[in-house]
Structure 1
Amino acid sequence: MRGAGAWARLCLLLAAAAQHSRPQLSERPVFTCGGILTGESGFIGSEGFPGVYPPNSKCTWKITVPEGKVVVLNFRFIDLESDNLCRYDFVDVYNGHANGQRIGRFCGTFRPGALVSSSNKMMVQMISDANTAGNGFMAMFSAAEPNERGDQYCGGLLERPSGSFKTPNWPDRDYPAGVTCVWHIVAPKNQLIELKFEKFDVERDNYCRYDYVAVFNGGEINDAERIGKYCGDSPPAPIVSERNELLIQFLSDLSLTADGFIGHYKFRPKKLPTTTALPVTTTFPATTSLKPTVALCQQKCRRSGTLESNYCSSNFVLAGTVITTIPRGGSLHATVSIINIYKEGNLAIQQAGKNMSAKVIVVCKQCPLLRRGLNYIIMGQVGEDGRGKIMPNSFIMMFKTKNQKLLDALKNKQC
């Protein structure tokens, strides 16, 4: 990424930015930490771009295009510290200038597609921590008509009682590569949103790493609020929001594409009984209902059996590092960065660059005890939402390299 080819591309980008912003072609544009930008188009970049951006910084750019138009932001280059959750160095893009909906968070070297605001204002914010840094980013903003929907424009704010949303080019041809679309659906405070996909064809991948649709409760792309992540050619089951806001994100990478999708939404009163056929099958034992779980958590924490005996009875088996732990009620929600996966089952795997992670729920938060920063072998069941479920008798142990040979042997053995 930082070789001669990348440097040559940086020089070309800087020349384009200089030509666009100044009459003197020999001048190199100077990128500072944040700023106020107005007009039909322009460039923004991390402080000192294309040099290494400084540590411990927070830079904010506020972009305004003429009234009646929307802002389109295209990243030309991005090279920030890579992390599967973008926790350290990242760029956030927001609708509006203050308290706006976050359209996306980006890090690493993957360039998102065009990002479109729902008004004539957009805010971009870059934050860096004290450690690893890269060359930063450069992006171009431009004004577009709100109803302009070419290959790269999609998404927007949906506030009517019912409506549709679809991938660019639908139904005439495949959606384009390198596109990011975000639809923000907002219902009145006392209503929920019901969502159905009529047709669905998004590049298939076991982990939905390349092209995917993600649906979130609320108005931000927030992993804790994610309802699901979908790809392939089977429409997701109907979805009903928990609140009056829903966010739909579609992303395609720079390679294969497919037909795309069309979906429909409608508002419905909160108190109406659920009419959608939500999945009812589950791999969890009956002890996950409230009263048995309370009783279960009062018992002694006891693991039985061995690696071998638990391997076949578990839905999934992985080795990983616990990177986040969030207590919720009596349970613990954890994110595990995967070192190796031996048995996947229906476990939902997320991927950002080379980093893979999975979500697990420890039903009784102290039993078994998972500590952040430590490596474990984790075996458990999988729920309909793709999260691993860890019961007090689930097999959990510290992961050591000497376990690797035995786990590899179990992986190759038929249960």
Structure 2
Amino acid sequence: MSSTVQRAGAFAAVGTLAFAVPVAAGLASPALATVAATAPFVAVALFAMFAIGPETAVFDIFARPGDYEDGRLYGLAAFALAAASLAFLSVQFDLPVWVFVATVVLVAYGNFGQRVAHRLDSDEVVATAGFVVTGFACGTAASLVAARTGAGSVAPSTALFLAGTGALVAALFRSVLFERDDPLVLLSVGLLLWLFFELDPAVGTTRVFVALGVSAVLGYAAYALDTASLPGMLTGVLLSLLTIVLGGYGWFAMLISFFGLGGLSTKYQYEEKQDRGIAEENEGARGSGNVLANSIVALLAVLLWAASPTHVSVDPDIFLYAFAGAVAAAMTDTFSSEFGGLYDNPRLITTFERVEPGTDGGVTWQGVVAGLVGAGIIAGIAAVTIDGVGTAGALLILCCGFVGMTVDSLLGATVEGTVVGNQGVNTLATLAAALTGVGAALAVSLV
């Protein structure tokens, strides 16, 4: 049986076939171009399924553990067919060929970098860093090389942004999926990078490097302080990168304040929270599901802001208040539960009856105050860092936080645990706050 490093290197070599697609895509006949672009990967898949027997040395190089049981290289075949599918999209539709090349190369070579890093140091974070760094570097280089071979033009800043985003998305998916799901990772990354390319982010190279560096440092700090699991860290880093590049530094300041202060509030008097039965699981380290539940609405607001007014015929500043409102709601919910849960005699928000600490929908006046302080922090950051927000905008964001906190408590008292779970409640609360921000901003003509 081959080593994981050798097998990853062999898959990387197959991924290198992606560089043949720009040449094939330039053929005059669309039908011929499609056949030429997909043929190398389809051939690999056919050989993997029918021509390479389990007794051969080639089989041993590419085989994953499950392939030995089946006697066929299903892993290699699935990877090659996923690449062929993306090649088809790049020729027949609007997926830029250089984006296709970058996707295949960053996933294939990122996996190789991860295996090499794991061989040198078994720490999971080191191995993941090996994937991200290698995938980012190779994906960027692949974008630029493919563009020079006739696969369209690409600005260096765009190549850096998409390669960094793709490497983080791929690493995140790989951290929560199995190795055999690499074809799904490849397809998902390719389609997401296509989406981000269509947003056409007009940013400079310096800003992308700043975004990558700051996000990585703060993400590792969150992991080192045990405020986030590895998937949670990757999710936070990805969201931070997208927020800086697509939104701006002021947007990022709000988001990172929530990540940082929210994580620290979870750690505050953690042992007492354990005694009360209200402590977060995993020593307070938030996973990707928790991070996304609190941030997915804000991320959608950033994407819509970047898409407007070119793709969405709406004033983009509307989405600023949606973003700030969602982040303020996430902060109020976290502060109110993490600090308010330390006090006795909470009351159910629907009936005002006394309930046990930690009861869904139970509130204390101390928790409400703490939540408003959290919303005030986000509102103050927005007023200081973003032009046009001002005092009126800050008060609006504060109100959004209060609405989100209230909706979270109401849902907790009525439907949490029966209709939706905790993460679903968090998402709905941030959505209510975002919609409040949009509606109020329009009503008072802040945009």
TM-score (norm: length of structure 2): 0.26
More helix by share: 2
TM-score (norm: length of structure 1): 0.28
